[in-house]
Structure 1
Amino acid sequence: MTVFIPITALLVLFGLGIPVAFCIFLSTIFYFLLNDTLPMMMLIQRLAGGLESVTLLAIPFFVMAGVFMNHSGISKRLLRFSEVLTGHMNGGLAQVNVVLSTLMGGLSGSNIADAAMGSKLLVPQMVARGYSASFSSAVTAASALITPIIPPGIALIIYGYVNNVSIGKLFLAGVVPGLMLCLMMMGLVSFISKKRNYAPLREKRAPLSEIALSAKDAVLALLLPIIIIGGIRFGVFTPTEAGAAAVIYALVLGMFIYKEMNSNLLWDATKESVMASANVLLIICVAVGFSKFLTWERVPQDLAFWLTSVVDSPIAFLLIVNLFLLAVGMFLEGNAVMIVLAPLLAPVAKSYGIDPVHFGIIFIFNSAIGTVTPPLGTVMFTTCSITKVKIEDFVREILPFWLLLIVALIMITYIPLISIGLPNLVFG
């Protein structure tokens, strides 16, 4: 009963639309109020202890690096590079949208931030060139789901911290699935654009000289994920130190190389970084307290025992987990799903012999799919609120992309080499 009431309260508060952090915090308070043997001071200690980790410093560092990159002129350079690469294809500007999301994913680290940027930057241009607003919004939202698994995605850092999984390996594990998703979405965009006569941006493929010139402008930004992963792999710095290095790198690019960031922009970018980081860290803080009482009540252990007694193979377990997460993701925000449920399911996955890095990519990508799924998908609402597209129109256009995402999820789930092949190759 002491577990049932707080969990019920959590679901009710979610249903009422209360912000995620407060839902988790209030449900945890209910547990302590119902349990007379636990002093309230212990709750405060657990909440404070949830942020006492050097690893978590990587989150504000990478958030700040991404924001600084966006304010340093790097977005327009990557946009130009994407146009040169894909402008000759069917649905040229939609193809640019997908490629830009893939390239910016390694810099912004957040699918919501990427969707917001694409909605402001590309959707108006697409509409002006004859694309429907609903299709433009759907492409923007769907391609933003590549962001969480492209290093250094914030979701990868959170998952690694919460479940004690190597963040360096998670970074590498997201590379191949992210590129695979990019190619699959480009194929779907080409198919839809050909049917609807969405014209290319240019008549023929760009010459090598033009590609080389645009690549020269973008290469410094594109080097950032390589520097981060390479530095972690060869022991130059830890994931946290990599975040600090990324901030310095972004500052140098913005202030001394591109010279587009001045003191006013630096101040605005710093404030934006603080607010974004506080939002994520607050959820982590309260989620640690919530997960503690679940552990005290042996919920993970009981869940593991029940699942292993009912399900006798890892294949069936992964199917059940995917269906469950897809359903939960329709109602809850991706980071909240990961922080609350990953500590429960990851140990069970390990008991079935599933690689922790592989399960992490499955979990993160599955949680991301929920963000474009009605009724409460956060990326869906973010995109539609900016582009002023009706939810029902968005849902109609997102359906082919949603089916593509499900196919990709099945491939990532049942072909482990897609996610763990590169980490095994690099780390051994």
Structure 2
Amino acid sequence: MSIAIASATLFGLFLANIPVAYAIIASSLLYFLVAQNMPTMVLVQRMIAGTESIPLLAIPFFIAAGTLMNYTGITRRMTTFAESLTGHLPGGLAQVSIVLSTMMGGISGSGLADAAMQSKVMYPEMQKRGYSPGFSTSVIGASSLITPLIPPGIGMILYGYIGNVSIGKLFLAGIIPGIMTCLLMMLAVHFVSKKRGYKPIREKMASPKEVVVASKDAFLALLLPIIIIGGIRIGVFTPTEAGAIAIVYALILGIVFYREMKLSHLKEAIGETVVTTSSIMLIIAAGACFGWILTYERIPHMATEFVTGLVDSPITFLLVLNLFLIILGMFIEGNVAIIILTPLLIPMAQAYGVDPVHFGMILLFNLGIGTISPPLGTAIFTVCSITNVKVEEFVKEVIPFYVVLFIALMLITFVPFISMWMPNTFM
């Protein structure tokens, strides 16, 4: 009864638009107040214990690295490089936006951070070129879900820590799904742009020399994900230490090579990192306590027995799981869903023979689709609030991307090779 009251309270507070961390803490506190022989001090203990983990240091490290990159001119250089690759295609600027999201995935690790950045950088340029506001925002919002798939995604770190899954393997597993999704989205933009007459921003394909010239400025930034993956693979550093390496690398780029970072920029970057990290860590602490409550009440075990008793086929399980995750992602922020659902769903997936690394890709991709789905998709409101575009326009224009994302989801779900080839080969 106690867990039922706490769970009902949690979703009620979510619907009342109470901040996520406070909603989880309040429902957890209610559980301890209602449950017998359960001192409230355990709430504080479990919250503190949930943050006492070395792997979680990777979160502030990579947030800091991504923030520092924004003050070094990296975004401008990578945009120029992406333009040299795809500017000759129909809907050139939209194509650039998708490729930029893919490249930025190796730097920021956050889909919402990428969506916010592109809303400020790419949206005004698309408007100058005659793109409709709805299409422009839908491209930016949809492409932002590629970012968490490309290492070092923050969602991967959270899932790996909570589910006790190798973060190095997760980093490798996301590369092919991320690139595949990028190509499918570019295909969707191609057809829409052909139909509407969105022209390329270059008259012809860039020559190899032009691509090389454009890549020179972006080359050092593009090395970062290679350094991270390579260093983890050969054992030079752990995923957590890779975050610290990323900060040092960003500072070297900004101060020594590009010489665009000033002391005032460093102060602003540290402030942004503290604010972002604090909000995430508060949610993690609250989620760790609620996850402990679920485990204490044996909810994952009972749920696994219930589902396996109803569903015999792994295929049916995965189809139902995808539908459940997409719907949930419409209402709950992705990191929160990862914290709450990971301990609940991993035992179910393993019962059907689904590898935890493969399941992580399915989980992250589904929650990504949820961020661009109404009524409460976080990427929708991030993009629309910055660009002042109506949500209705975004939803109308994002439909072609739903189609290709559904195709990508089915491929990721039912062709494990896409996610598992790199982890199995290189680790």
Task: Give TM class, smaller chain.
Answer: over 0.9
Task: String of CA shifts for 1:379-428, please: whole Å, max 9, x gaps.
Answer: 0001000111111111100111112211111110000000011111111x
Instruction: State the alpha-carbon separation in 1 of the partners of residues 43 and 15 from structure 2.
Output: 25
Relative to the length of structure 2, the TM-score reads 0.99
Instruction: State the alpha-carbon separation in 2 of the partners of residues 126 and 374 from structure 1.
Output: 24
Secondary structure, counterpart of 1:106 in structure 2 = coil
Residue 100 of structure 1 deviates from its aligned partner by 0.5
Residue of structure 2 equivalent to 1:195? 195
Residue of structure 2 equivalent to 1:391? 391
Q: Which stretches in structure 1 are left out of the alignment for 5+ residues?
A: none
Residue of structure 1 equivalent to 2:89? 89
Instruction: State the alpha-carbon separation in 1 of the partners of residues 195 and 399 from structure 2.
Output: 16
Task: String of CA shifts for 1:117-163, please: whole Å, max 9, x gaps.
Answer: 01000001000111011100000000001011110010010000010
Q: Say what the alpha-carbon RMSD is for the aligned residues.
A: 0.7
Residue 70 of structure 1 deviates from its aligned partner by 1.1
Residue of structure 2 equivalent to 1:108? 108
Q: Aligned pair 1:254/2:251, yes or no?
A: no
Residue of structure 1 equivalent to 2:234? 234
Residue of structure 2 equivalent to 1:46? 46
Relative to the length of structure 1, the TM-score reads 0.99
Instruction: State the alpha-carbon separation in 1 of the partners of residues 313 and 57 from structure 2.
Output: 38
Secondary structure, counterpart of 2:106 in structure 1 = helix
Q: How does 1:229-378 map to 2 (within 5 A)?
A: 229-378=229-378
Give percent identity, aligned residues only: 56
Task: String of CA shifts for 1:208-261, please: whole Å, max 9, x gaps.
Answer: 111001111111100100100111111100111010001000010011110000
Residue 365 of structure 1 deviates from its aligned partner by 0.8
Q: Aligned pair 1:214/2:214, yes or no?
A: yes
Q: Which stretches in structure 2 are left out of the alignment for 5+ residues?
A: none
Aligned residue type for 1:116: A
Instruction: State the alpha-carbon separation in 2 of the partners of residues 315 and 210 from structure 1.
Output: 47
Residue 347 of structure 1 deviates from its aligned partner by 1.2
Instruction: State the alpha-carbon separation in 2 of the partners of residues 264 and 270 from structure 1.
Output: 10
Q: Aligned pair 1:150/2:150, yes or no?
A: yes
Q: Give the total of aligned pairs.
A: 427
- State which drifts further: 403-412 or 169-178: 403-412
Instruction: State the alpha-carbon separation in 2 of the partners of residues 64 and 330 from structure 1.
Output: 28
Instruction: State the alpha-carbon separation in 1 of the partners of residues 19 and 405 from structure 2.
Output: 27
Aligned residue type for 1:390: K
Residue of structure 2 equivalent to 1:132? 132
Instruction: State the alpha-carbon separation in 2 of the partners of residues 255 and 366 from structure 1.
Output: 39
Instruction: State the alpha-carbon separation in 2 of the partners of residues 279 and 194 from structure 1.
Output: 42
Aligned residue type for 1:95: Q
Aligned residue type for 1:330: M
Contact 2:133–2:393 under 8 Å retained in 1: no
Instruction: State the alpha-carbon separation in 2 of the partners of residues 421 and 395 from structure 1.
Output: 34
Aligned residue type for 1:144: S
Instruction: State the alpha-carbon separation in 1 of the partners of residues 256 and 228 from structure 2.
Output: 21
Residue 36 of structure 1 deviates from its aligned partner by 3.1
Instruction: State the alpha-carbon separation in 2 of the partners of residues 359 and 156 from structure 1.
Output: 11
